[in-house]
A and B are shown apart, each in its own frame.
Chain A
Amino acid sequence: MRASRPKVAIAAIAAAALAVAGCAESDREEGSGGSKKDTLVFGVAGDPKVLDPSLASDGESLRVARQVFETLVRPEEGGTKVSPGLAESWEPDAAGTTWTFKLRTGVKFHDGEEFNAEAVCYNFNRWYNAKGLMQSPDVTAYWQDIMGGYAANEDPTLGESLFKSCTATDPTTVSLAFTRVSSKIPAALMLPSFSIHSPKALEQYDASNITGSADDIKYPAYATAHPTGTGPFKFKSWDVPNKTLTLERNEDYWGEKAKLKSLIFKTISDENARKQELRSGGIQGYDLVGPADVEPLKGEGFNVLTRPAFNILYLAINQKGNPKLADLKVRQALAHAINRQALVDSKLPPGAQVAVNFFPDTVEGWNGDVTKYDYDVEKAKALLAEAGASDLTLRFHYPTEVTRPYMPNPKDLFELISADLQAVGIKIEAIPLKWSPDYLNATTSGDKHDIHFLGWTGDYGDGYNFIGTFFDRQKDEWGFNNPALFEKFKKADSTADMAERIALYKELNADIMNFLPGVPISHSPPAIVFGKDVTGVKASPLTDERFSTAEFKS
C-alpha cells in the first residue's frame, strides 16, 4: 500500500510515453514510406541567408540557388571549365570588351514567363542600376567584387563598373558590353549571383526594393519567399522554425527533368550530428564530411564522393608584423623547414597533394617549373643563421572549432608545423583563436600576427581568382609592398588574349614562388556523402552539385 501511488504514476508516464512512441513511429513509417523514394533530404551546415542569389554570397544560399536558377554560362559538370548554360554559345569581339551570347530557346521561368534576351538585359540592368541599400557591400557582394561599381555609385570609394551595357539584338541574341578587358569574363558569369530571374516575378515581388536603414536592412518578399528561375527545381517552402527548405520538381523544365519529386535541405550545423542523422536515416546525404569520417562512411557502404581539389591551404607570413620576416632568407628558411609531404600524408584526406603554386594544377596558368623548397632542416638552419635570425620567435595563429574544405583539422596542422619550425630553432608562441570572428579578424587585419594558416576555395576557374585575390595589392594579411608584382597582376587582368594571359599567370606563379610571400601547403579534396541507395550526383570542385540527376536505386 505504501508508496504505491508514485509507482503507479511512474508506470503511467512510462506507458504513455511508450504509447506515443509506438504511434509516432508507425505514423512516420506510414507517412514517409511511400514518398521516400522520390524525396531526398540533404543535410547542410547552415541555413541559407536569402533566396535571391543576387543578394547572396554564402555557400548555403548559393547551393539552393544552383538548383532553382540558371546562369548564362555554367561550369561543366564535375569540372571548372566554362560550358553552356542558358546561353548555347558565346564569343567576344575583337577588342575583347563585348561578349555576344546566343541563347537557348524554349526555356520558361517557373512562373510561366518566356526566357529571352530581354529577360537577360532586365537582370543585368537591375544589378547595374542598383540604388540605395542595393549598393551595400554585404547585399550585392559578388556584383561589387566582380564588377566593381554601379551605374551611379553612391559610395565614393567604389570604382567604375566593369559592366557597361546590355543589348538584346533579337530574342535569342544578347550582347554584354564591358568597360575594359577583364580576366573575370566570362568565367565569373558562372557564379550563381548572376542567375537569370523572371522579370515579371522580380517586379511583382518588389525584388530590388530593399528597405530599412543601412544598419537595419530589410529584404523584399522576392528574396525571402518567391525566387523564380528556370532551373530543374522550383522553390516550394522555407520552414525556418524547422530549419528546412523544400524544393519541388519543375515539370516544365527545358532539359532533362529532375528525377526526384522533391528535394529538402535540412540544416544541421554540427558535423557529428549530420553524420549521426545520416546513419539513423533522417537524411540521405550531407556536405562537409569530416576527413576522418571519409573512410569509415565508405566502409559502411555510404556513397562518399570526393570533389576534385579546387582549393589551397597556405601558411601566410606577415612581413609587416615582424621585420625579420621581410628578409627573404628567413621566409626561405621557413619553407625549407616544413615537411609538407609528411603533413599531407598524415593529416589530410586521401587524394590531397603538396602545393607547388598558390592554385591547383586544374587551373590554367599553373606552373610546375617554379622554385621549389624541399624539406631540408640543415639548409633552413643555415639560412636563418645567414639572416641573423637564429633566435627567431614567431607568433603562430591557428583557428579552433573549424573545419574548412582546405583545412580539415587546423590544430593538428599547427602541431606538426610547429614541431618542424622548432626543429630548426625557431621559438613558437601559439595563439589559438576561435575561427569566427576572432581568428579571421586577427589574421586579416593589423600587424599583430607573424604566421598563420588560411586558404581559399575558388569561385570559378581562373587563376586570378586565386593569386589575384591574395597578392594583387598590399594587404594586411601579408603586409608586403611589391609594386612590380602588383603591376604585373594589373597587366594579367587586362589581357584579352587568353593564351597571353595564361603565360602571364605562369610568370606570376614563378615570381610569387621566388618572392615567397607565404608557403603554399596543400590542395585537399573535400568530400560529400550520399545514402547507400542514392546515385546520380557528380561531385563538383566548385560545389556545384546538381541534384536534378540524383535518384534512389530501386
Chain B
Amino acid sequence: MFRFIVRRLLQLIPTLFGLSILLFIWLRRLPGGPETAILGERGTPEMRAAIRRNLGLDEPILIQYGRFVKRMVRLDLGTSISTKREVTTEFLQRFPGTIELTITAMVIAIGIGIPLGYLAARKRGRFLDYASVGGSLIGICIPVFFLAYVLKAIFSENLGWFPSSGRQDPILGATRITNFFVLDGLMTREWDAAADALWHLILPGMALASIPLAIIVRITRASVLEVLGEDFVRTAEAKGLTENVVRRRHVLRNAMLPVATSIGLLTGGLLSGAVLTETVFAFSGIGAFLAESISNRDYPVLMGFIMIIAVVYVLVNLIVDLSYSLIDPRVRVR
C-alpha cells in the first residue's frame, strides 16, 4: 500500500514536467500578451515594449522556461502580472471557495443521485425510472452556465430566496481564518456568517451539480441493474435475507465501485464547470480567476494554478483508487 502511494506520487514528477513544457509553449504561442491587457487602449508601442522587456518576455523561451523551473523547484510560483500578488496567495485565497462549491455540488449530486439511481433501477420501467433517466438526460444536455442563469433569474432575481452573487454578504464583515467561509463562521462562532456563506453556496452548487448528478443517476442505475441480475443476489434473496441486508451488503456495495470511480473523475471535472458557474455567480474561486487570467494572459497565474490543479487531480484519483479497496475487498492494492 505504502509503495503504491509513493509510486503514484513519484509518477507526478514527469507528469508535471511534461505538462509544464506543453503549457509554457502553448501559452506563449497565444497571440497578444499581458502588456496588451495591462495597458488597454492606452498602450503606445513603446510602453508595450517596455513592459515586455520588464517581464522578460523578449528573451528566448528557453531562458524564460529555465527561470520558471528554477522558481518551481523552490515551490515559488511567482507573482501575478495583473494583481501583483503572489500566485500562491491568490490560490490559497480562492481555492477554498472552489472546494466549498465543489463539495456542495458533490453533496447535492451524490445525495440525490445515488438514491435516485437506485430507485430507478428498482422501479425499472415505471414512471420514476423514466422520469429520472429522462431528467438526467436534460441535466447533461443543459449547459451549466445557462442553468446558472436560469436558477439565478428564478430563485434570486424574481423570488429573492437566494443571494445572486458572491460568497458572503459583505455587510457582515466576517472574520477570515482559513478562507473556507462556512468553516470560518463555525470557528469564530459567527453563526450568521456561516449560514450566510452556506446560503450563498446553494444556487451555484445546484448549477454545478447538474451534470455530475445526471451522470451519477445513470451510472448508479445501470450498475444496480447489473448487480440485481447477478446470481449472488438471487442466492441472497433465496437464503431469506431481509430486503435491507440484501440491498446494503450485496447490491449497493457491489454497485458502488463504478459509481466511486465516476465520482472521482467527476470531482476533477467539476473544475471546468466551476469556471462558468463562478463567473455567473461572481463567486470568488479559482475558476473565475482562471478565466480572467486567460484574458489577461497572466502567465504566472495560469502556469501556477494549472500545475496545482494537476497535482490535486492526481491526488483525488489516488484517493479514489485507495477507496476501491474499502468498497470492494477483492481490489487490493499491492
Task: Give B20-55 interface residues, CB cut-off 8 Å to A.
Answer: 31-48, 50-51, 53-55
Binds B, one of A114-122, A265-273, A361-369, A519-527: A265-273
Do A28 and B196 contact each other (CB < 8 Å), given the known contacts A218-B79, A246-B170, A280-B163? Answer: yes
**Cβ of B309 < 8 Å from any Cβ of A?**
no
Which of A3, A17, A144, A280 contacts B156, CB < 8 Å?
A280
Whether B32 and A438, one on each chain, are in contact in the complex, defined by CB atoms closer than 8 angstroms, is yes
Stretch in contact with the other chain, from A70-78, A237-245, A290-298: A237-245
- B264 touches A (CB below 8 Å): no
How many residues from B make CB contacts under 8 Å with A?
Answer: 86
**Given A2, A13, A273, A441, which contacts B280 in the complex, CB threshold below 8 Å?**
A273
- Are B165 and A268 interface neighbours, CB within 8 A? yes
- Kindly identify, within residues 471 to 495 of chain A, every residue whose CB is under 8 Å from any CB belonging to chain B: 475-476
Q: Which of A209-217, A377-385, A412-420, A530-538 forms part of the interface with chain B?
A: A209-217
Q: Given that A9-B111, A218-B86, A269-B279 are known contacts, is A442 also in contact with B31, CB under 8 Å in the complex?
A: yes
Residues of chain A within 8 A (CB-CB) of B8 are: none
Mark contacts of A29-68 with chain B using CB atoms, 8 A cut-off: 1 yes-contact digit, 0 otherwise: 0111001100101000001011000000100000000000
Residues of the A chain whose Cβ atoms lie less than 8 Å from the Cβ of B39? 138, 141, 440
CB distance from A461 to the nearest CB of B (A): 17
CB distance from B149 to the nearest CB of A (A): 8
CB distance from B1 to the nearest CB of A (A): 33
B32 touches A440 (CB 8 A): yes
Chain B contact residues: helix, strand, loop or mixed: helix
A456 at the interface (CB under 8 A from B): yes
CA distance A66 to B256 in the complex (A): 58
Mark the stretch among B207-215, B292-300, B313-321 that contacts chain A.
B292-300
Whole-angstrom CA separation of A429 from B74 in the bound complex: 50
- CB-nearest residue of chain B to A441: B32
Pick out which of these stretches binds chain A: B92-100, B136-144, B227-235, B324-332: B92-100
User: 0/1 per residue, A139-165, Cβ < 8 Å to B?
Assistant: 001001100000000010100000000
Is A321 in contact with chain B by the CB < 8 A criterion? no
Q: How far is the CB of A8 from chain B (nearest CB, A)?
A: 10
Chain A CB within 8 A of B122 CB: yes
Q: How far is the CB of A533 from chain B (nearest CB, A)?
A: 16
> Does B163 lie within 8 Å of A242, measured CB to CB?
no
Docked pose: A494 CA to B160 CA in angstroms: 59
Q: Contacts A241-B176, A276-B153 given: A437-B37 contact, CB under 8 Å? A: yes
Question: Does any Cβ of A come within 8 Å of B172's Cβ?
Answer: yes
Check A436–B115 contact: CB distance below 8 A: no
Q: B56 touching A215 by the CB < 8 A rule?
A: yes
**Nearest CB in chain A: distance from B317 CB, A:** 27
Answer whether residue B195 sits at the interface, using C-beta atoms and an 8 A cutoff.
Answer: yes
Task: Give chain A nearest CB distance to B103 CB in angstroms.
Answer: 14
Is the CB–CB distance between B198 and A444 below 8 Å? no
Any chain A CB within 8 A of the CB of B191? yes
One digit per residue, 1 when the CB lies within 8 angstroms of any chain A CB and 0 when it does not, for chain B 137-169 equals 000000000000100110011001101111111
Write the nearest CB–CB distance from A232 to chain B, whole angstroms: 20
Tell me if A10 is interfacial: C-beta within 8 Å of chain B: yes
Contacting residues, chain B, for A445 (C-beta < 8 A): 45, 48
Whether the pair A10, B115 counts as a contact (CB closer than 8 A) is yes
Query: Which of B42, B167, B198 is in CB contact (< 8 Å) with A24?
Result: B198
Interface of A is mostly: mixed
Total A-B residue contacts, Cβ distance less than 8 Å: 223
Report the separation of the CA atoms of residues A241 and B171 in the bound assembly, to the nearest whole angstrom: 15
- What is the bound-complex CA distance between A475 and B170, given in angstroms? 45
Hey, what's the 0/1 contact readout for A446-480 against B, CB within 8 Å counting as 1?
00000000111000000000000100000110000
In the bound complex, do residue A216 and residue B78 qualify as a contact, i.e. CB atoms below 8 Å apart? yes
A440-B282 contact, Cβ under 8 Å, with A28-B196, A276-B152: no
State the CA gap A17–B160 with chains docked (Å): 16
Interface string of B169-207 (1 = CB under 8 A from A): 111111010010100000000011001101100100000
Judge if A6 is at the interface, Cβ distance under 8 Å.
yes
Shortest Cβ distance from residue B65 to the other chain A in the assembled complex, whole angstroms: 13
C-alpha spacing A3/B40, complex, angstroms:
60
Cα distance A224–B67 when bound, in Å? 26
Asked if A342 is at the interface of the complex by the 8 Å CB criterion, the answer is no
- B119 contacts partner chain A, Cβ-Cβ < 8 Å: yes
Q: State whether the Cβ of A277 lies closer than 8 Å to any Cβ in chain B.
A: yes
B305 in the interface (beta carbon within 8 A): no
Residue in chain A with minimal CB distance to B248: A5
Asked if A273 and B281 make an inter-chain contact with CB atoms under 8 angstroms apart, the answer reads yes
- Which chain B residue lies CB-closest to A444? B43
Instruction: List residues of B (255-269) whose CB comes within 8 Å of A's CBs.
Output: none
> Which residues of chain A are near B157, meaning CB under 8 Å?
276, 279-280
The answer to whether A170 has its CB under 8 Å from any CB of chain B is no
Bound complex: CA A201 to CA B171 (Å): 28
Contact A215:B50 (CB < 8 A) given known A6-B119, A270-B279, A441-B36: no
Q: A268-B165, A269-B292, A437-B37 are in contact. Are A31 and B171 (CB under 8 A)?
A: yes
A454: min CB distance to chain B, Å = 6
List 13 A-B pairs, Cβ < 8 Å: A2-B122, A30-B192, A31-B192, A217-B84, A241-B93, A241-B179, A242-B166, A242-B168, A268-B165, A273-B280, A437-B32, A437-B297, A440-B40
